[in-house]
Amino acid sequence: MERREDSIFPIEEALEMILIFDHEGKISYVNAAARQKLGYERDLCGRHISDVFPGSFRAVKDGFETECPVGSKLQNLVAYRRNLTCFPVEARLIQTDDDSGMYICMANDILEKEFLNREIERIKQEAGQAMKVKSEFVANVTHELRTPVNGVLGNVRELLGRKTDEETEKSLRLVERCCDDMNKIINNILDFSKLEAGKFTLEPRRFHFRNMLDYVKANHINKMTEKGLGFFMTVSPQIPEYVIGDELRIVQILNNLLSNAQKFTSWGKITLEAVRTAQVNDRMELFFIVSDTGIGIDKGDRDKLFQSFSQVDASISRKYGGTGLGLNICKQLVELMGGRIEVESEKNKGSTFSFSIWVGTCEGEEAVLQRPDDVKGAPVVMAAMSPPMEENGEDPENIRTYGTPENREQLKKNLSKLILSVEMENWEKAEMFMETVRQLTEEAPREVKRAALRLKMAIQKENYEKVTAEFEELNNFLQSEGDVLHDL
Ligand code: ADP
């Protein structure tokens, strides 16, 4: 049977050699790669398959014999060219399942494949080297830039210390701010190039967790207040006073998320929440949530957020400034700390960035019960101070211990009150019950805790659809753990 090459175009152009032969071993088709590698023109058609693979196929009366199994298994064969030189191939032999019962042999030149693999490896190494040189260059240039910027900054501060007229002081303050901004950009580029070059190392040490958060808060509170934004910070009492981690870098991530939140929010509130989500020996997983009621981010743009130099659109960078490096650096830092960063957002409603990291705990350090922070005395915070266990005069320990009948009973009660408050659009009450639910699930597995936190965020945003979806999710987790809430 003769075949026309153009009727089987994709295999004609394939990189691997393809030969088709019948039950007698007579070759009826060879593609361009096979013709070229075996040194034939069209005259290979009509020959016997044993001419190409004499070591593996034998011509016998009315056909051929072979030890090559038919199937997808790869086998090493030796292919012979027209000029009787040979080369090793990796081949597969399959048989068509139609009446013709034709055989198809697909073969790759092993030496060529090895050569290609070596080439790919070489190109990869060259690209890696070029990347390293580029990163080192960027690191050097930015480092060199820092010296003159700091020189200008030092002189400006010195001049500001002297007595000057109002106009001059205004100009000097502007130069000072420009230098500060420039330093921020330089630091970002330096971090980014170090991370890219794999030269970044974390410097973990023991630090006071609450003091760290207070410092972060102090960095942003003035700007937020100036914009009329509320700021709420909640810290789970399960986080001990001291933890071991790279404080500077945790501050950097939080600063970046909070300054974005502040930058992209013109009314409403910003919340920061920190909870412990897991403990394995002396390591603890911390989960942070930064939420705002700002401009939000389109679904299609969310995936781009953590890429380097990515800003949602050019008009945003013109209006708000920035290099688009911040979130990429955050992502890399979070991953270095063993965690993940995620975003949830709705256009014009706000964004919630959350990330987890692992920190060490100090020996003998007990979790200290701390009063939740309240900046403006929001209802959520007031609720956090009134523990749920006093309600019926029941044993507080049993109620607090996740999974006890008392705990489940309270959970059931508070969740049904919560959803009722949501239905009645009484968001303040819903936040109150939510805080109780959060406390009741403090010792729960991390998926339950995270679901509770997401529900809390949705309530704070007063987003009915999201609340019902998150409620459903939490309910499902709880139900799968013991059908507790089936009758809610
Ligand atoms: P930049 O330093 O330019 O702010 P980031 O990586 O921190 O870079 O942020 C990248 C982009 O992500 C921002 O330019 C903005 O478009 C978007 N973005 C980040 N955080 C928020 C937020 N809270 N609300 C809306 N958009 C945000």
Instruction: Report whether pLDDT(311) > 80.
Output: no
Q: How far is the CA of 310 from the centre of ligand 1 (A)?
A: 8
For residue 311, report the distance from its CA to the centre of ligand 1, in Å.
6
Q: Which of 191, 307, 327 to mutate to test the pocket of ligand 1 (most atoms within 8 A of CB)?
A: 327
Å from CA of 245 to ligand 1 middle: 26
At residue 17, φ and ψ (nearest 5 deg) are -75, 135
The pLDDT score that the predictor gives to residue 209 is: 96
**HEC states along 330-378?**
HHHHHHHCCCCEEEEEECCCEEEEEEEEEEEECCCCCCCCCCCCCCCCC
Alpha helices in 386-426 (DSSP H): 396-400, 405-423
The reply to whether ligand 1 has any atom less than 6 angstroms from the CB of 59 is no
- Domain spans of the chain, in order of start: 2-109, 122-197, 205-384, 396-482
Q: Is 407 in the pocket of ligand 1 (CB under 6 A)?
A: no
**Ligand 1 pocket, residue 330 CB under 6 Å:** no
Instruction: Give distance in angstroms: CA of 327 to centre of ligand 1.
Output: 7
Name 361's Cβ contacts closer than 8 Å, sequence gap at least 6: 240, 243, 244, 279, 282, 283, 284
Please indicate whether residue 305, judged by its CB atom, sits closer than 6 Å to ligand 1: yes
| Whether residue 351 has its Cβ less than 6 Å from ligand 1 | yes
Among 184, 253, 260, 313, the mutation site with the greatest number of ligand 1 atoms within 8 A of its Cβ is 260
pLDDT in tens, 147-170: 889 899 999 999 988 888 889 998
Q: Give yes or no for residue 126 having a pLDDT over 60.
A: yes
Q: What gap in Å lies between CA 365 and CA 239, rounded to an integer?
A: 10
Give the C-alpha separation, 11 to 5, whole Å.
9
User: How many A from CA of 353 to the centre of ligand 1?
Assistant: 11
- What's the average model confidence in pLDDT over 287-307? 88
Smallest CA-to-CA distance from 352 within 281, 277, 422, 302 is with: 302
CA of 112 to the centre of ligand 1 (A): 48
- Residue 322 CA, closest ligand 1 atom number: 3
Q: Phi-psi bin for 350: left (phi > 0), alpha (psi -120 to 50), beta? A: left
Q: What pLDDT was estimated at residue 391?
A: 39
pLDDT at 271 over 60: yes
Pocket test for ligand 1, best of 257, 291, 299, 311 (most atoms within 8 A of CB): 311
**Which residue's CA is the closest to the ligand 1 atom numbered 14?**
311
Give mean pLDDT, residues 6-20: 80
Measure the CA–CA gap between 385 and 376, rounded to whole angstroms. Answer: 14
Could you tell me if the CB of 256 is within 6 A of ligand 1? Answer: yes
The first and second tokens of residue 65, run together, are 């014999």
Average pLDDT, the chain: 83
pLDDT reported for residue 484: 44
Q: Which residue has the higher pLDDT, 138 or 310?
A: 138
How many beta carbons lie within 10 A of that of residue 375, not counting itself? 18
**Confidence check: pLDDT of 107 > 50:** yes
Cα separation, 410 vs 393, in Å, equals 12
Q: Which one is the CATH code of 2-109: 3.30.450.20, 3.40.50.2300, 3.40.50.800, 3.90.1010.10?
A: 3.30.450.20
Render 172-187 in DSSP notation, one character per residue. Answer: HHHHHHHHHHHHHHHH
Indicate if the pLDDT at residue 357 is higher than 90: yes
Within this chain, domains 2-109 and 205-384 share the same CATH topology: no
Gap between the terminal Cα atoms of the chain: 73
379: which residues sit within 8 A by CB, 6+ positions away?
Answer: 428, 431, 432
Distance, CA 337 to ligand 1 centroid (Å)?
22
Q: Tell whether ligand 1 has an atom less than 6 A from the beta carbon of residue 268.
A: no
pLDDT band at 308 (very low <50, low <70, confident <90, very high): low
**CA nearest ligand 1 atom 4, residue:** 322
- The two beta strands, 350-361 and 242-245, are antiparallel
pTM: 0.56
Q: Which CATH architecture has domain 205-384?
A: 2-Layer Sandwich (3.30)
Alpha-carbon span 258 to 331, nearest angstrom: 15
Q: Atom 18 (ligand 1): residue with closest C-alpha?
A: 260
Give pLDDT, residue 377: 31
122-197 adopts what CATH topology? Methane Monooxygenase Hydroxylase; Chain G, domain 1 (1.20.58)
Interval 106-110 mean pLDDT: 93
> Using one digit for the tens of pLDDT, what is the confidence trace for 177-209?
889 888 888 888 888 888 877 778 888 999 999
Q: Considering only CA atoms, which of 296, 273, 283, 284 is closest in space to residue 213?
A: 273
Crossing angle (nearest 10°) for helices 427-440 and 405-423 = 160
3-class DSSP assignment, residue 273: strand
Residue 398 Cα to ligand 1 middle (Å) = 44
